[in-house]
């Protein structure tokens, strides 16, 4: 334990150079560094590029003797924002930090200090050419004074489309107007570039409503009180317009819900999913202030979704069926059927917000609108699960998840299984092992969903109202009856490839078993709905078994129709060979990929943190190698 302490200190002392990806300044005998986990970051996609800011980014040092050090995070003293250009192919053996680019929030790439300190959580509110860094938690330090409550940093990545000579990307310091503060965190953010608007729903504030910090011993500065607000950023005019409205009664604020913008109605709607009340992570003791109440409230945040119609400013709440359990800190994206007959919201990951040491969620759930039916389309493996990550959809059929952290089950900080980036095929409902800018397709409604709502991959849903409950409010029905002008939505795919990849565009298998007019849907609906829960369970088992089968068969008997599929099967194949050589009762996990690329997983080299790295340790690290004290201690 003593030695661990020394190691941690040593790593912290030299950390700034890692962040820069430089070789100098590493600790003795260190030969490389690998991104391990990234908790509470904020991201958004502007045109062809993902921007990633803030949070706690943990790195694992590799040493010349083949060993690995304890993963640590340094609080990003250089104010680095990472970017990922979706022209860049990657796969499970790619060194992810080598395909990220960086931009520095600090002047001349020096120390960021209080000009651009590192925020945990908060949001990146964006349109297609600029973003605003809003909310989130700083570490409380007396080394320097923090930015004011009305300060917000924005970044102009490109001009509005017309390439003006002389334009340079860069940061701007903006001021929030009276009545809006940055002292808020744990809210849910959504961007609608086609409307030039973005939102921050709910979240937590300090009891005073003033400064709020990463949880410390002084509760008066901890994010303990819910904020019953919806913050709106409107950048359709030359100068950004911020506004702050109070949520009506019956629309519950909470911590870390997911919010998505869905293209229905005149200006679209926001759909708020999940989140918890009284999360353990808002206190320094890391204990929920009211766990029983959280268990009572939180499942309802998934079962009854809150909907905001942007054009009218009205809130609605609609009951769903077959909802997942309470989950916070997951991520959500929307995929629209090609004929707009359904809008499928994918929710991945997260956990109950109460226990960091229990299994996290690795399932992918879909809430299909306007039927408001949930279906679990992918059953996961707790080892691969994550929370505090973000997801983006570079292509209509693909979701990329970025960052996150793992359950501390078993003790200590565990690196993400499979790595910082994961790719999910939204049409197929399956995880992919690679991303290739040349390999994509239009979105198809997954079979499991179109069997439930009618129609086929191309759309044609026949369940077009919430079933079986009907509309909670006729007003919401008419919002859904109004078509959003899809022509407003700009896309930036396909991306030119920066790599050697040569994928092939496939097409979905359109001979849906539920195709045509599924006349059985209406009469048997009741039965079907009753079976939803059973099905979900059956499917869970089936998928799990099928996954194992796939791994065993290696696709040997099946001739994959496309190169890309072939490649993926080869990956699975490789995984399997590895799995067979490992005598273990564990199901094959993505660790096997790591082993096959000589990156010994932490687990298998017997890495267990002598004692779990306490959350507080992260707040107590010296920042920029200067001494500091927590205020009030
Ligand atoms: C990954 O690439 C970065 C930047 O090129 C490098 O600093 C780092 O050591 C590499 N990590 C590994 C595990 O090779
Ligand atoms: C990183 O260092 C470890 C430990 O020396 C080594 O096993 C591993 O192969 C290295 N990874 C890369 C990508 O060089
Ligand atoms: C992303 O990569 C492509 C291809 O190299 C390039 O044309 C584009 O400018 C890059 N985007 C950004 C924001 O740098
Ligand atoms: C995986 O990506 C690396 C570059 O990141 C590339 O060298 C390698 O060929 C890729 N592997 C496969 C199987 O595509
Ligand atoms: C994003 O907002 C800014 C600020 O209003 C505006 O100048 C720019 O044109 C917008 N970008 C796009 C792609 O519409
Ligand atoms: C929203 O407005 C209320 C009332 O003016 C104010 O007390 C609160 O601080 C504001 N919230 C945020 C997050 O700006
Ligand atoms: C925050 O919550 C505490 C305890 O419930 C309450 O006493 C206090 O008034 C709240 N603060 C605000 C600004 O509402
Ligand atoms: C990509 O692969 C296809 C099929 O294997 C081949 O016909 C084509 O020439 C390849 N394209 C490039 C740019 O390598
Ligand atoms: C996703 O799955 C669909 C259906 O199997 C396929 O057509 C499409 O090419 C896949 N996309 C990728 C990127 O693998
Ligand atoms: C799928 O089938 C429907 C009719 O059943 C047709 O309208 C649609 O164009 C087909 N889509 C594709 C991609 O083949
Ligand atoms: C907690 O912080 C508040 C606000 O900075 C301060 O007024 C108070 O004295 C602190 N409490 C303790 C016990 O240090």
- Ligand 9 pocket check for 431: Cβ under 6 Å: no
Q: How far is the CA of 190 from the centre of ligand 11 (A)?
A: 34
Tokens coding 303:
């079962």
Whether 627 has a pLDDT exceeding 80, the answer reads: no
CA distances from 158 to 82, 162, 168 (A): 16, 9, 8
pLDDT tier for residue 412 given thresholds of 50, 70 and 90: confident
Q: Say if residue 476's pLDDT is above 60.
A: yes
Q: Which two tokens stand for residue 218?
A: 């002084």
Q: Among 88, 91, 498, 597, which is best to mutate for testing ligand 4, by the most ligand atoms less than 8 A from CB?
A: 91
What are the C-alpha distances in Å from 413 to residues 36, 83, 356, 401? 9, 25, 11, 19
Cβ 152 vs Cβ 172: under 8 Å:
no
C-alpha to C-alpha distance for 294 and 621, rounded to whole angstroms: 31
Looking at ligand 8, which residue's alpha carbon is closest to its atom 8?
502
pLDDT tens-digit profile of 265-287? 999 999 999 999 999 999 999 99
More confident residue, 423 or 499: 423
CA 493 vs CA 86, 395, 567: distances in Å: 9, 7, 23
Q: Are 252 and 294 in contact (CB under 8 A)?
A: no
With a cut of 90, say whether residue 455 has pLDDT above it: yes
The closest alpha carbon to 192, from 300, 107, 267, belongs to 267
With left for phi above 0 and alpha for psi between -120 and 50, is residue 618 left, alpha or beta? alpha
Distance CA 442, CA 395 (A): 8
Of 176-190, 312-326, 524-538, the poorest mean pLDDT is in: 524-538
State pLDDT tens for residues 335-378: 999 999 999 999 999 999 999 999 999 999 999 999 999 999 99
Q: Which atom of ligand 2 lies closest to the CA of 31?
A: 2
* pLDDT over 50 (residue 193): yes
Q: Find the 418 Cα to ligand 4 centroid distance in Å.
A: 15
The contacts of residue 277 (CB under 8 Å, 6+ apart) are 226, 252, 254, 255, 290, 293, 294, 297, 298
551 pLDDT more than 50: no
616 has a pLDDT exceeding 70: no
Specify whether the backbone of 233 is left (phi greater than 0), alpha (psi in -120 to 50) or beta: beta
Nearest to 467 by CA among 531, 526, 539, 535: 526
Higher pLDDT, 109 or 439: 439
**pLDDT tens digits for 97-137?**
999 999 999 877 778 888 889 999 999 999 999 999 999 99
| Angstrom distance (rounded) from CA 36 to CA 60 | 6
pLDDT of 199-243, one tens digit each? 999 999 999 999 999 999 989 999 999 999 999 999 998 899 999
Nearest to 586 by CA among 434, 384, 422: 384
Q: How many angstroms separate the alpha carbon of residue 516 from the centre of ligand 10? A: 10
Query: Would you mind telling me the total number of residues written for the chain in this entry?
Result: 633
**Distance from C-alpha of 527 to C-alpha of 499, rounded to nearest angstrom:** 50
Q: All domains of the chain, ordered by start, with CATH?
A: 22-100+109-482 (2.120.10.80)
Is the pTM higher than 0.85? The answer reads no
Indicate the top mutation candidate among 141, 220, 284, 633 to test ligand 11's pocket, ranked by most ligand atoms within 8 A of CB. Answer: 220
Residue 461: CB atoms within 10 A of its CB come to: 26
Q: How far is CA 128 from CA 54, 262, 327, 385, 491, in A?
A: 20, 17, 29, 30, 9
Under the phi-then-psi rule, with left for phi > 0, alpha for psi from -120 to 50, and beta for the rest, what region is 586?
A: beta
Q: pLDDT value at position 538?
A: 56
pLDDT at 113: 83
* CB 219 less than 6 A from any atom of ligand 7: no
Burial of 596 (0-12, 13-18, 19+ CB in 10 A): middle
Task: Tell me how far the alpha carbon of residue 498 lies from the centroid of ligand 8, in angstroms.
Answer: 16
Instruction: Starting from the CA of residue 431, give the closest ligand.
Output: 9
pLDDT at 166: 79
What distances in angstroms separate CA 334 from CA 375, 380, 484, one per listed residue? Answer: 14, 20, 15
* Mutational test site, ligand 3, from 44, 46, 48, max ligand atoms within 8 Å of CB: 48
pLDDT over threshold 80, residue 493: yes
pLDDT above 90 for 441: yes
Q: What is the pLDDT of residue 160?
A: 67
- DSSP structural state of residue 249: T
Question: With a 6 A CB cut-off, is 632 part of the ligand 11 pocket?
Answer: yes
The alpha carbon of 31 and the centre of ligand 1 are apart by a number of angstroms equal to 9
Q: Across residues 610-617, what is the average pLDDT?
A: 33
Instruction: Using the predicted structure, report yes or no on whether residue 595 has a pLDDT greater than 50.
Output: no
Query: Backbone dihedral region of 38: left (phi > 0), alpha (psi from -120 to 50 degrees) or beta?
Result: beta
Q: Residues of the chain with pLDDT > 90: what percent?
A: 66
CA of 42 to the centre of ligand 5 (A): 20
3-state secondary structure of 245: strand
Res 584 pLDDT > 60: no
Strand partners, 133: 124, 153
Of the pLDDT bands very low, low, confident and very high (cuts 50, 70, 90), residue 533 is low
Q: What is the pLDDT of residue 537?
A: 53
What does the alpha-carbon distance between residue 70 and residue 5 come to, in Å, rounded to a whole number?
10
Pairing label, strands 197-201, 229-234 = antiparallel
Phi and psi at residue 153, to the nearest 5°: -100, 135
Locate the ligand 2 atom nearest the alpha carbon of residue 34 and give its number: 1
The residues, ordered by sequence, that sit 6+ positions from 294 with a Cβ below 8 Å of its Cβ are: 276, 277, 278, 279, 288, 326, 353, 354
225-226 and 204-205 beta bridge pairing: antiparallel
Rounded Cα–Cα distance for residues 152 and 552 (Å): 52
**Could you read off the pLDDT of 130-172 as tens digits, one per residue?**
999 999 999 998 778 899 999 999 999 988 656 667 788 999 9
| pLDDT value of residue 268 | 98
- Supply the mean pLDDT for the chain: 80
Rounded distance between C-alpha atoms, residue 49 and residue 130, angstroms? 12
Q: Is 145 in the pocket of ligand 2 (CB under 6 A)?
A: no
8 A C-beta contact, residue 563 and residue 504: yes
**From ligand 10's centre to the CA of 455, what distance in Å?**
10
Which atom of ligand 7 lies nearest, measured to the CA of 225? 1
490 by Cβ neighbours in 10 Å (0-12 / 13-18 / 19+) ranks as exposed
Q: Is 98 in the pocket of ligand 1 (CB under 6 A)?
A: yes
Query: Is the pLDDT at 510 greater than 80, yes or no?
Result: no
Give the helix/strand (H/E) hosting 596. helix 591-596
Please tell me if the CB atom of residue 209 comes closer than 6 angstroms to any atom of ligand 7.
yes
Instruction: Give me the pLDDT at residue 346, please.
Output: 98
Asked whether the CA dihedral 485, 486, 487, 490 is positive or negative, the reply is positive
Eight-class DSSP state of 550: H
**pLDDT for the residue 557:** 35
Q: Do 279 and 288 form a contact (C-beta atoms < 8 A)? A: yes
CA 220–ligand 11 middle distance (angstroms): 7
Q: Which ligand is nearest to the CA of 220?
A: 11
pLDDT tens column, 27-79: 788 899 999 999 999 999 999 999 999 999 999 999 999 999 999 888 888 89
Cis peptide before 477 (omega within 30 of 0): no
HSE-CB for 344 with a 13 A CA cutoff: 37
Query: Which pLDDT value is given to residue 536?
Result: 58
Mutate to test the pocket of ligand 4, among 34, 84, 94, 502 (most ligand atoms within 8 A of CB): 94
Measure the CA–CA gap between 376 and 409, rounded to whole angstroms.
24
The predicted pLDDT at position 498 comes to 78
Among protein residues, the one whose CA lies closest to atom 5 of ligand 6: 179
């Amino acid at each position: 334990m003593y030695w661990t302490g020394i190691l941690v200190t040593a790593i912290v002392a030299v950390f700034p150079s890692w962040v820069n990806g430089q070789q100098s300044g590493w600790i003795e005998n260190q030969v490389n560094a690998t991104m391990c986990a990234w908790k509470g970051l904020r991201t958004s996609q502007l045109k062809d590029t993902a921007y990633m800011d803030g949070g706690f980014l943990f790195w694992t040092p590799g040493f010349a003797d083949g060993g690995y050090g304890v993963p640590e995070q340094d609080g990003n003293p250089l104010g680095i924002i990472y970017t990922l250009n979706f022209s860049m192919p990657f796969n499970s053996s790619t060194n992810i930090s080598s395909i990220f680019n960086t931009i520095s929030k600090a002047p001349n790439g020096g120390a960021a200090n209080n000009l651009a300190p590192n925020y945990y959580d908060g949001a990146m509110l964006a349109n297609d050419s600029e973003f605003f860094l809003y909310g989130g938690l700083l570490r409380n330090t007396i080394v320097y004074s923090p930015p004011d409550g009305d300060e917000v940093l924005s970044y102009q990545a490109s001009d509005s489309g017309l390439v003006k000579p002389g334009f340079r990307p860069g940061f701007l310091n903006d001021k929030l107007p009276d009545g809006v503060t940055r002292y808020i965190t744990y809210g849910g953010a959504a961007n609608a570039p086609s409307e030039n608007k973005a939102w921050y729903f709910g979240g937590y504030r300090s009891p005073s409503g003033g400064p709020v910090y990463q949880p410390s011993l002084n509760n008066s500065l901890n994010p303990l009180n819910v904020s019953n607000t919806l913050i709106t950023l409107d950048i359709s005019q030359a100068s950004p317009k911020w506004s702050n409205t109070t949520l009506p009664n019956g629309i519950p604020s909470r911590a870390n819900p997911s919010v998505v913008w869905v293209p229905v109605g005149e200006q679209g709607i926001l759909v708020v999913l999940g989140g918890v009340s009284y999360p353990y992570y808002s206190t320094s003791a890391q204990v929920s202030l009211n766990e029983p109440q959280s268990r009572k409230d939180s499942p309802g945040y998934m079962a009854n979704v809150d909907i905001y119609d942007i054009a009218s400013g009205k809130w609605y709440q609609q009951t769903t069926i077959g909802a997942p359990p309470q989950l916070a800190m997951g991520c959500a994206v929307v995929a629209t059927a090609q004929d707009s007959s359904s809008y499928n919201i994918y929710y991945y990951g997260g956990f109950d917000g109460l226990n960091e040491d229990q299994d996290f969620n690795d399932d992918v759930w879909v809430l299909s609108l306007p039927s408001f039916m949930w279906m679990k389309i992918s059953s996961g493996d707790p080892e691969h699960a994550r929370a505090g990550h973000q997801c983006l959809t570079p292509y209509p059929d693909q979701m990329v998840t970025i960052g996150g952290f793992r359950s501390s089950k078993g003790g200590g900080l565990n690196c993400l299984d499979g790595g910082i980036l994961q790719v999910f095929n939204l049409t197929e409902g399956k995880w992919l092992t690679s991303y290739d800018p040349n390999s994509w397709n239009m979105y198809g409604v997954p079979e499991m969903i179109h069997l439930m709502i009618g129609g086929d991959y191309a759309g044609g849903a026949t369940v077009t109202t919430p079933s079986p409950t009907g509309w909670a409010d006729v007003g919401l029905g008419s919002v859904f009856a109004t078509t959003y002008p899809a022509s407003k939505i700009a896309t930036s795919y396909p991306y030119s490839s920066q790599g050697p990849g040569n994928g092939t565009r496939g097409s979905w298998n359109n001979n849906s078993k539920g195709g045509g007019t599924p006349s059985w849907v209406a009469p048997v609906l009741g039965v079907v709905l009753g079976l939803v829960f059973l099905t979900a369970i059956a499917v869970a088992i089936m998928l799990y078994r099928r996954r194992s089968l796939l791994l065993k068969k290696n696709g040997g008997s099946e001739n994959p129709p496309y190169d890309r599929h072939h490649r993926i099967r080869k990956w699975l194949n490789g995984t399997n060979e590895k799995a067979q050589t490992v005598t273990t009762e564990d199901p094959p996990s993505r660790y096997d990929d790591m082993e096959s690329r000589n990156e010994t997983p932490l687990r298998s080299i017997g890495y267990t943190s002598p004692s779990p790295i306490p959350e507080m340790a992260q707040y107590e690290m010296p920042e920029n190698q200067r001494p500091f004290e927590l205020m009030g201690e």
